[in-house]
Structure formats: structure tokens, C-alpha cells
Amino acid sequence: MKTKKILIKIIYHTLVVAFGFVMIYPVLWMISGSFKDNSEILRGSLSLIPDELKLSNYATGWKGFSKITFARFFANSFFITAIATFGTVVSSSLVAYSLSRIKYRGRKIWFTAMLATMMLPGQVIMIPSFLIWYNLGLANSYVPLILPYFCGQAFFIYQMMQFMSGIPRELDEAATIDGCSKYSIYTHIILPLLKPAIVTTVIIQFYWKWDDYMGPLLYLSKPKSYTVSLAIKMFADAASTTDYGAMFAMSTLSLLPVFFIFLFFNKYLVEGIGTSGLKG
Amino acid sequence: MQTEVVKSRVKKIMNSNEMVGYVFAFPFIFGFICFSLIPILTSLRYAFTDFSLGSKTMEFVGGANFKQLLTDEVFLKSLRITLKYVFISVPLKLVFALLVAYLLTRKTRLQVLYRSLYYVPSLVGGSIAVALVWKQLFARKGLLNSIMGEMGLDPINWFGDQKLALYPLVLMSVWQFGSSMIIFAAGLKEISPTYYEAARIDGANMVQSFVNITLPCLSPIILYNLVMQTIQAFMAFTQAFVITAGGPDNGTMMYALYVYNQAFKYNHMGYACAMSWFMLIVMCLITLVIFKTSKSWVFTESGD
């Protein structure tokens, strides 16, 4: 009986690890590709260990295009992502507080509107939004990529509302009796308790924004303002043959920030996602 | 004295539910009107015109754009392809997400590590970097063909055959089941262990308790994931844009990509808006169908 249990355990862990390895194989292959020769990559070699470890791909890749190095592209991406993520956290938590904790006329309407935006595919409003920014003369700037994030993101508002429904209302009531206004209930009670949901928002919004390709594609036309994702695509667009080694090297670097954020915060990821409100 | 009264009145107004509610909701209300409502209404107006960027005149053309849709073969093809993509990738993705989430609920010290491992594709999958890797994996001399070569199979020209080109994209979407998995995992955590305990005492095996306990308890979350993933799949853009550019022979011309091309490549803004609206209607219908049928399979705790 005991050996059977151990056997099942071993099989379970082996399967989970083996399948997990297959899952991340493409990513590992890319990382190993960043140390490989172009000819080795194009042979379609399965091996994750390069014939010889080459660091030159990183040097050539970093040089970028027409005198703009990847330092610039990374700085641009960080700038946009950091501000947009900050905006999302602040605005979404404000709105979630309003929709889940305060009773006022019109709340139902705004809640429905929020759900509708959550399900509204971005591509439907892509063209008119572009035209609005174009008419405002801002189509070639970071504003369209940042400003909307200060207006709350429906997905995160919804997640935060789920989470807030788990914070006992008695806390609000006790604070009110102690003379707290509704504003200080938000800053002193809700916000600190919301931490797991905020962390989840930071992780997810950070990598959505960091990976975002369509937004920059629409709104950034000068190479100087390109984000990393646009810049990496330029390797593939080059008129001559693609430098796969350099492309993989920069791709690997581009994934690093996402990995680090995830490593630091990953234990919060499941805790921060509330599902209680989805029931019934 | 006067100012004291004013002050306290201001304070009272500022602290009324109405005021507080709207102060906190203001960012959303502003954003909703400016970045959702106005664009979507503008889009509707453009859908009935021949609007294009840079031209000074804009003529009202009635339903001509919508009529043209029905005869535009690329459009009809992209509609078919997108539906196929959605109907294959979404169910597969959800099944994987649920199974893996379920298998990973076993309490082991490695649980967090495993979950992270399976989450990695979702974490990086949307990035341009991974799309380019995917392109290389399925290239003529790519990794997949060299594996098949070693197994003695003929190489397949994935992106050269318009019947096959969609499948690497489907696979890429399924591969990113991690975010649905996380949501399922959060839901699984909330199912009371006493249910499983009772089932075990009654002699139920793992499969039975999965079907009779896990699935019903999780059904609201399945519905949520189903709706969100369906919407997302309809709007798939980056993979098709980067990996295949819609080719070969429009075999991977996803809907969103075709809208983008019409708008920004050919500058047929009016026509593209009509396409967006058509898509919105199709998606609303599908979501509606999902919600309508969900009444029969989503289990609510209040009981019915």
C-alpha cells in the first residue's frame, strides 16, 4: 500500500514536470537560440545547448537600428508601462470602491457600463479612437497609450470588486463610528487590505502593457519612440535576411522584466483573484 | 460663524453617498464616455460613409458598406477562419486549463513552482518575441519539422498550406491556457473540502467527484472564462499579423487583422468601421447564446 502511494506520487511528479518542460520548451529554445549561431538556429536544431556559447548576438542586437540602441527602446517601454500600470492601479481601485462600497443613484448603470466595457472588444473602437487622437493631434505621441489607463480598466475594477466583497463591511462601520469619512475609509482600510488584488493587477497589467504590440503599432511612427516589441519586430522586417540570433537575444532581454515581476510576486497571483462574486 | 456653517455644509455634501460615489467613479465615467461611448458611436456613423483618412469629403453611402461585406470574398473567408479558430481554440484551452488546475490542487510543496511553470506561456505568450519564436518553430526547416524528420515523417510546410496555417496559431492560443488556469485554481480553492470528504465516504472515485462536485461548483467560473476567452479569441491579432501576415492565400486572415488592413493599409475607414460593427453584433449574439444556454448548466448555490 505504501509503495503504491509512493509510486503514484513519483508518476504524478514526473508527468507534471515532463509536461511542464514541453510547455516552456519554446521559451527555453529562444533563450538558447540567443547564444547560437544563425546557421545553427536555421538548421532547426532541437538542442537547448548551443554548439559554442556566443555572446556576440547580444552585442549586435543591442546596437539596434539606424543608431538607436535598445537602451532607448527599453527606456520607452519602461516609461509607458510603469505609468500606465500605476494609473490602472490607482484609478481601478477608486472605481471599484465606488461601485462596491457606496450606495448612490446611478450606481447600477455604471456597473453595467463597466461590465459592458469589459466585454467590449478593443478592436471595435480601435479606428474611431485612433481618429479622435489623430484629430487632437496626439496620434503620434504616448498620450493615447497612457491616458486611458488612468480611467480604470474594467477587468481590474471587476477583480478588485470581487476582492472587496471579501472585506467585512463591519470594518467600514466601525471606522465610521470612529469618525472616519468615506474618503479615509478608502485610504486607511480598503487600500491596505486590497494589497493582494493590487499586486495581481500590477503583474497582469505590467505584462499586458509590456507585451502590447497593437497600441504602439498604431500610435508610434518614429523609431525613436518605439517600444521594445516594435523594435524586435524590426529584426524580422529587415530587407536583408533576418538576424535570428540578435532577434532572440533582444527577445530574451525583453522577457526579463516580466519574469522578474512574476518571480517576486507570484505567490500573490492566485490569492489576489477573487471568484466569490462569480458564484450564484 | 458664517464660514463655519459653510464649511460644515460643504463637508456634509462632500460626504454624502451621492458625492462620494461620483467622486470615486469619476475616472471610469470620464473614460467610459470619452474612450468607449464616443468612439463606438462615431464608429457607427462612419460605417455608413465612405470616410477615409486625409480626404476632405465624406459621403453618406447608406448601407453600401454592409452590402459590400456580403460580396467581399476575403471578408467571408476571414469570418469563416475566425469562427473556426474560436471554436477549436477556446474549448481546448479551457479543458486544458481546468484539467491542469485540478491536477495541481494536490497539496505539495512544489505546487507553486508547478503552477508557475504552466503559467509561463501565458506570461510571455502575448509578446512579439514568442510570436517570432513560433514562426521559427513551424518554419519549413524549423524545430517541429526536424522532430518529425527524426521520427521518419515527411516535413510539413505549415505556413505554406492555407489549410494548415491556422493550426500553429490555434496551438499557440491553447498553449497559453495559464491565465484561465489561474482563475480556475482560485475557484477550486473555494470548493469546500467537506464535499469531497462526503463523496469519498459514499465511495465516489476521483472521476465521479470531479464530474459531480468540481464541475457544478466551478460552473459560474467556467462561464466567465468561456465568455472572456471567446471574446479574446475573436479579436486575435498579433499572432496572425506577426507570424503569417494573414497568408498564405488569406488562410490566416483573422478578422481583426482584416479590419486593421482595411483601415490602415488601404485607408477604407468607413468600410473597416462597418466590419467592426458587424463583428460586434456577431459577438453579442454569441455571448447571448452562451448566457442563454448557461441557465441549464451553470449551477447557482442559491439552488433552483
Residues A9-46 have pLDDT tens digits of 888 888 888 888 888 888 888 888 888 887 777 776 66
- The C-alpha cell 514562426 sits at B135
Q: Is B214 a residue whose pLDDT tops 90?
A: no
Distance from CA of B36 to the nearest CA of A (A): 7
The segment with the largest mean pLDDT, out of A80-84, B139-143, B146-150, is A80-84
Is the distance from CB of A270 to CB of B182 less than 8 angstroms? yes
Hey, is the C-beta of B10 within 8 angstroms of any chain A C-beta? Answer: no
Mean of the per-residue pLDDT values for chain B? 86
Question: Which backbone phi and psi does B49 adopt, to 5 degrees?
Answer: -130, 175
Question: Could you say which DSSP state residue A68 is in?
Answer: B
- pLDDT average, residue stretch A43-55: 74
Given B121, B142, B220, which is nearest A44 (Cβ)? B142
What band does B1 get if pLDDT is binned at 50, 70 and 90?
low
Q: Is A109 a residue whose pLDDT tops 60?
A: yes
pLDDT value at residue A270? 59
Distance from CA of B58 to the nearest CA of A (A): 14
Report helix, strand or coil for B56: coil
* Cα gap A193→A196, rounded to integer Å: 8
Q: Is A255 in contact with B124 (Cβ distance < 8 A)? A: yes
pLDDT value at residue A199? 87
- Please give the model's pTM, rounded to 2 decimal places: 0.86
Neighbours of B268 (CB within 10 A): 20
What proportion of chain B, given as a percentage, has pLDDT over 70? 97
What proportion of chain A, given as a percentage, has pLDDT over 70? 92
pLDDT value at residue B87? 93
Is the distance from CB of B269 to CB of A131 less than 8 angstroms? yes
pLDDT value at residue A91? 95
- pLDDT average, residue stretch B193-222: 86
Hey, is the C-beta of B229 within 8 angstroms of any chain A C-beta? Answer: no
**Is the preceding omega at residue A257 within 30 degrees of 0, hence cis?**
no
- Quick one: CA dihedral B160, B161, B162, B167, positive or negative? negative
Chain A residue numbers with beta carbons less than 8 Å from the beta carbon of B135 are 236
Domain B66-297: CATH class, spelled out = mainly alpha
Q: Is B276 in contact with A119 (Cβ distance < 8 A)? A: no
Q: Rounded to 5 degrees, what angle do the CA atoms A54, A56, A60 make?
A: 150
Q: Between A269 and A234, where is the model more confident?
A: A234
How many Cα atoms sit within 13 Å of A34 on the Cβ side? Answer: 23
Q: Is B107 a residue whose pLDDT tops 80?
A: no
- pLDDT average, residue stretch B236-243: 87
Q: Is B190 in contact with A103 (Cβ distance < 8 A)? A: no
* Cα gap A13→B110, rounded to integer Å: 9
pLDDT value at residue B187? 86
pLDDT value at residue B301? 59
Q: Is A266 in contact with B116 (Cβ distance < 8 A)? A: yes
What band does A175 get if pLDDT is binned at 50, 70 and 90?
confident
pLDDT in tens, B50-95: 888 777 777 888 888 888 888 899 999 999 999 999 999 999 999 9
Chain A residue numbers with beta carbons less than 8 Å from the beta carbon of B106 are 12
- pLDDT average, residue stretch B209-215: 86
Given B104, B238, B300, which is nearest A213 (Cβ)? B238
* Cα gap A95→B29, rounded to integer Å: 9
Given B115, B124, B128, which is nearest A258 (Cβ)? B124
Chain A residue numbers with beta carbons less than 8 Å from the beta carbon of B136 are 33, 41, 244
Given A30, A99, A183, which is nearest B129 (Cβ)? A30
Given A42, A181, A252, which is nearest B141 (Cβ)? A42
Hey, is the C-beta of B206 within 8 angstroms of any chain A C-beta? Answer: no
Q: Between B153 and A227, where is the model more confident?
A: A227
pLDDT value at residue A267? 67
Neighbours of B215 (CB within 10 A): 15
Residue of A151, A158, A180, A209 to mutate when probing chain B, most B C-beta within 10 A: A151
- pLDDT average, residue stretch A193-218: 88
Q: Between B252 and A46, where is the model more confident?
A: B252
Chain B residue numbers with beta carbons less than 8 Å from the beta carbon of A157 are 28
Q: Is A114 in contact with B183 (Cβ distance < 8 A)? A: no
Hey, is the C-beta of B49 within 8 angstroms of any chain A C-beta? Answer: no
Question: Which backbone phi and psi does A101 adopt, to 5 degrees?
Answer: -115, -25
In angstroms and rounded to an integer, the radius of gyration of the C-alpha atoms of chain B is 25
Is the distance from CB of B178 to CB of B126 less than 8 angstroms? no
Is the distance from CB of B101 to CB of B185 less than 8 angstroms? yes
Closest CA to B202 of B192, B191, B189, B213: B213
Least trusted range by pLDDT, from A45-54, B10-19, B214-223, B257-266: A45-54
Quick one: closest CA in B to A48, which residue? B143
Q: Is A26 in contact with B137 (Cβ distance < 8 A)? A: yes
What band does B31 get if pLDDT is binned at 50, 70 and 90?
very high
- pLDDT average, residue stretch A206-218: 89
Question: Could you say which DSSP state residue B48 is in?
Answer: T
Chain B residue numbers with beta carbons less than 8 Å from the beta carbon of A274 are 186
What band does A269 get if pLDDT is binned at 50, 70 and 90?
low
B49 - beta bridge partners? B60
- pLDDT average, residue stretch B29-57: 87
Is the distance from CB of A208 to CB of A138 less than 8 angstroms? no
Q: Is B302 a residue whose pLDDT tops 60?
A: no
Q: Is A278 a residue whose pLDDT tops 60?
A: no
C-alpha to C-alpha distances, A63 to A30, A58, A72, A249, B53, nearest whole angstrom:
20, 9, 10, 12, 35
* Cα gap B79→B154, rounded to integer Å: 32
* Cα gap B266→B67, rounded to integer Å: 19
What proportion of chain B, given as a percentage, has pLDDT over 90? 22
* Cα gap B20→B13, rounded to integer Å: 9
pLDDT in tens, B146-191: 778 878 777 788 888 888 888 999 999 999 998 889 888 888 888 8
